[in-house]
């Protein structure tokens, strides 16, 4: 992309150890020493700091189209806001012809490598118990012989406090560049950083092909703890990247022919919300129920029907999905007298259990449903908040084959891949527990490594960088190390669910006498993190237990 940029273009230019900064490609200044490989570098004027520097092509991005990726919303360095204002002014004052040419060339922004994302720079903690870290003292403090924007990117300032002393995010209005981008791209896709209802149109009738644009692959600050198991928004779409398998480029579309069957959905937690959104978007008729009824409200506005109990949903629908917290929740929903799922099951009613629970409960539920003439499939999913929102889950299914086939359009809408693992209810659960056991141990090990690094005086930013350079460069390590670095633990995969899955995996190991030394140790760390109050935080908060 940077190669097609030219003099006069407005850009984000990223110097090592600095956040990407608004700039403009300008004619080189003879006073500033040229680097050796000048052919592959742009000479950049930095807004705000008004300095100049040679910046390699690969770290120069068009300004329009990449603002979401690089705009800092917290811990904004001094001068950054002024730089944004200056570049937005420059856009306003751009002659129409120049803008049209620029738009044409820039309307297809390249994905930005994760390590270049600006959120990487926001390493300070908001949490009171966060240990103070020494600041990086390398490139960022260098002089300006080569014209670096020395005054600006290293400086950190707090977000303005509101009257209660809490930090507030600045209210975002549409800037000129955003308006232009909107016009230029005309994308209707949603993204995890947007309100999940923002791209809903009125309820669609089933039976027609729905074309769905996949959301842009990108990382916003809130996605730093993105579930690593399923690819990463913003990761370069290089070969082997899980992201490329997951979603491809923003211009790709997913075609789903929604089943005319009536779909029920029980449970609007983190996972249920994303899945229901994608079912609705792809034109399915969905009836929802959630224990806390108010969570249904927005979905009803978006076209869903509302059931008053699990039983009522089952009675009104052909296939009912259930995705709730744990075994207790599933038992409550299925077996509660008069209002439970079982009460609504008659011959031919279909029930799909998506929660991650123990195998015994899976068997109990399956038998109870089948005993009433119902049809059972278990379909736990791999992935968390963002893949659920993006329709990029992996569905692991076992049980009734015909029901699996009947779920085709639903699985298409919510996932990138669905696997049928056999008729035995329990097979999918076993697979899911093993996958999550591996995930839990990997993240626990990362947490321990970073906790130790801190104790032996290493800079965690350096640790994260080194991890991202070697064979450990994978979405799990990259995203969770960034979450730890930035102390951002918003739940993408709640820690308490990870601990539950480890506990269930250990029980499964007991049954088959499989030693699970590492998983057992990791489980202890997650238990400690729960005791410290991080149960509802993201799994990356296991770092707090490791460093405590």
* Active-site residue list: 432
Structure tokens at 536: 């509802």
Instruction: State the minimum distance, in angstroms, from the CB of residue 307 to ligand NA7.
Output: 13
Instruction: State the minimum distance, in angstroms, from the CB of residue 397 to ligand NA7.
Output: 14
Q: Which member of 494, 542, 543, 546 binds ligand NA7 (CB under 6 A)? A: 494
Q: Which member of 151, 291, 417, 473 binds ligand NA7 (CB under 6 A)? A: 291
For residue 420, give the nearest of 439, 433, 436, 402 by alpha carbon. 402
- Report yes or no: 106 and 64 within 8 Å, Cβ to Cβ: yes
Residue 292 sits in the site that holds ligand NA7 (CB under 6 A): yes
- Residue (11 or 275) nearer to ligand NA7, CB: 275
Q: Which helix (H) or strand (E) holds 319?
A: strand 319-322
Contacts of 191 (CB under 8 A, 6+ apart): 68, 215, 216, 218, 220, 233
Quote the Cα angle for 395-503-424, to 5°: 40
Q: Which member of 5, 55, 271, 352 binds ligand NA7 (CB under 6 A)? A: 271
Could you give the CA distance from residue 175 to residue 86 in angstroms, rounded to a whole number?
12
Q: Which member of 151, 295, 503, 527 binds ligand NA7 (CB under 6 A)? A: 295
- Report yes or no: 428 and 420 within 8 Å, Cβ to Cβ: no
Residue 356 sits in the site that holds ligand NA7 (CB under 6 A): yes
- Report yes or no: 414 and 388 within 8 Å, Cβ to Cβ: yes
Quote the Cα angle for 386-391-392, to 5°: 70
- Residue (106 or 495) nearer to ligand NA7, CB: 495
Residue 328 sits in the site that holds ligand NA7 (CB under 6 A): yes
Structure tokens at 36: 């050796």
Residue nearest to ligand NA7 (CB): 269
Q: Which member of 84, 246, 323, 433 binds ligand NA7 (CB under 6 A)? A: 323
What Rg value do the Cα atoms of the chain yield, rounded?
Answer: 25
Residue 503 sits in the site that holds ligand NA7 (CB under 6 A): no
Residue 355 sits in the site that holds ligand NA7 (CB under 6 A): yes
Residue 428 sits in the site that holds ligand NA7 (CB under 6 A): no
- Residue (76 or 334) nearer to ligand NA7, CB: 334
Residue 308 sits in the site that holds ligand NA7 (CB under 6 A): no
Instruction: State the minimum distance, in angstroms, from the CB of residue 492 to ligand NA7.
Output: 9
Instruction: State the minimum distance, in angstroms, from the CB of residue 495 to ligand NA7.
Output: 11
Bridge-based pairing state of the strands 60-62 and 10-13: antiparallel
Instruction: State the minimum distance, in angstroms, from the CB of residue 295 to ligand NA7.
Output: 5
Q: Which member of 319, 324, 345, 365 binds ligand NA7 (CB under 6 A)? A: 324
Question: Could you tell me which stretch among 58-66, 179-187, 298-306, 318-326 binds ligand NA7 (CB under 6 A)?
Answer: 318-326
- Residue (479 or 497) nearer to ligand NA7, CB: 497
Contacts of 135 (CB under 8 A, 6+ apart): none
Could you give the CA distance from residue 192 to residue 55 in angstroms, rounded to a whole number?
31
Q: SS3 of 415, please? A: strand
Instruction: State the minimum distance, in angstroms, from the CB of residue 209 to ligand NA7.
Output: 29
Instruction: State the minimum distance, in angstroms, from the CB of residue 214 to ligand NA7.
Output: 22
Residue 342 sits in the site that holds ligand NA7 (CB under 6 A): no
- Residue (23 or 387) nearer to ligand NA7, CB: 387
- Residue (324 or 345) nearer to ligand NA7, CB: 324
Instruction: State the minimum distance, in angstroms, from the CB of residue 123 to ligand NA7.
Output: 27
Could you give the CA distance from residue 246 to residue 266 in angstroms, rounded to a whole number?
26
Q: SS3 of 479, please? A: helix
Residue 272 sits in the site that holds ligand NA7 (CB under 6 A): yes
- Report yes or no: 13 and 46 within 8 Å, Cβ to Cβ: yes
Residue 288 sits in the site that holds ligand NA7 (CB under 6 A): no
What is the DSSP code string of 365-398? HHHHHHHTT-EEEE--EE--HHHHHHT-EEEEEE
Residue 242 sits in the site that holds ligand NA7 (CB under 6 A): no
How far apart, in Å, are the Cα atoms of 151 and each of 11, 65, 74, 143, 424? 19, 26, 19, 10, 64
Q: Which helix (H) or strand (E) holds 489?
A: none
For residue 381, give the nearest of 322, 311, 299 by alpha carbon. 322
Within 13 A of 385's CA, how many CA atoms are on the CB side? 23
| Site residue total, ligand NA7 (CB under 6 A) | 22
Residue 395 sits in the site that holds ligand NA7 (CB under 6 A): no
Q: Which member of 106, 116, 270, 317 binds ligand NA7 (CB under 6 A)? A: 270
Instruction: State the minimum distance, in angstroms, from the CB of residue 428 to ligand NA7.
Output: 12
Binding site for ligand NA7 (CB under 6 A): 267-272, 290-292, 295, 323-326, 328-329, 332-333, 355-356, 494, 497
């Amino acid at each position: 992309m940077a190669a097609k940029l030219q003099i006069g273009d407005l850009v984000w230019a990223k110097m090592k150890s600095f956040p990407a900064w608004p700039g403009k490609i300008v004619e080189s200044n003879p006073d500033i020493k040229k680097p050796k490989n000048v052919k592959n570098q742009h000479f950049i004027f930095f807004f705000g700091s008004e300095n100049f520097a040679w910046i390699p092509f690969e770290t120069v991005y068009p300004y329009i189209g990449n603002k979401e990726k690089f705009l800092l919303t917290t811990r904004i360095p001094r001068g950054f806001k002024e730089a944004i204002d200056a570049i937005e002014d420059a856009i306003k004052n751009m002659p129409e012809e120049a803008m049209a040419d620029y738009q044409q060339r820039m309307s297809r922004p390249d994905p930005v490598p994760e390590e270049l994302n600006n959120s990487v720079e926001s390493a300070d903690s908001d949490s009171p118990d966060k240990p103070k870290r020494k600041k990086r003292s390398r490139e960022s403090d260098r002089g300006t012989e080569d014209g670096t924007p020395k005054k600006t990117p290293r400086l950190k300032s707090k977000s303005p406090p509101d009257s209660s002393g809490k930090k507030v995010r600045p209210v975002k209005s549409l800037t000129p560049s955003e308006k232009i981008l909107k016009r230029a791209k005309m994308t209707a896709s949603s993204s995890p950083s947007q309100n999940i209802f923002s791209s809903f149109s009125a309820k669609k009738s089933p039976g027609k092909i729905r074309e769905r644009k996949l959301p842009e692959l990108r990382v916003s600050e809130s996605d730093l703890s993105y579930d690593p198991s399923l690819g990463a928004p913003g990761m370069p779409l290089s070969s082997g990247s899980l992201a490329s398998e997951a979603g491809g480029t923003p211009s790709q579309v997913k075609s789903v022919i929604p089943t005319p069957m009536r779909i029920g959905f029980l449970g609007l937690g983190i996972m249920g919300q994303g899945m229901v959104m994608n079912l609705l978007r792809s034109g399915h008729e969905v009836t929802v129920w959630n224990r806390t009824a108010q969570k249904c409200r927005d979905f009803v506005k978006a076209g869903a029907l509302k059931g008053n109990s699990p039983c009522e949903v089952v009675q009104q629908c052909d296939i009912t999905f259930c995705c709730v917290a744990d075994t207790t929740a599933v038992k409550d929903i299925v077996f509660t007298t008069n209002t439970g799922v079982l009460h609504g099951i008659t011959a031919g009613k279909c029930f799909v259990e998506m929660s991650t629970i123990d195998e015994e409960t899976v068997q109990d539920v399956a038998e109870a449903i089948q005993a009433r003439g119902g049809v059972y499939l278990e379909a736990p999913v791999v992935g968390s908040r963002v893949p659920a929102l993006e329709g990029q889950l992996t569905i692991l299914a076992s049980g009734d084959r015909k029901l699996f086939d009947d779920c085709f359009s639903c699985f298409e809408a919510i996932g990138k891949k669905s696997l049928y693992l056999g008729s035995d209810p329990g097979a999918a659960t076993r697979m899911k527990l093993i996958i999550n056991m591996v995930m839990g141990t990997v993240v626990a090990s990362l947490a321990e490594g970073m906790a130790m690094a801190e104790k032996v005086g290493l800079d965690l930013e350096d640790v994260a960088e080194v991890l991202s350079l070697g064979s450990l460069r994978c979405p799990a390590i990259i995203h969770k190390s960034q979450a730890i670095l930035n102390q951002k633990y918003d739940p993408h995969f709640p820690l308490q669910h990870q601990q539950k899955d480890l506990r269930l995996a250990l029980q499964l190991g007991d049954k088959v006498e499989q030693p699970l030394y590492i998983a057992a140790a990791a489980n202890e760390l997650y238990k400690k993190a729960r005791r410290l109050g991080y149960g509802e935080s993201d799994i990356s908060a296991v770092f707090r237990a490791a460093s405590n």
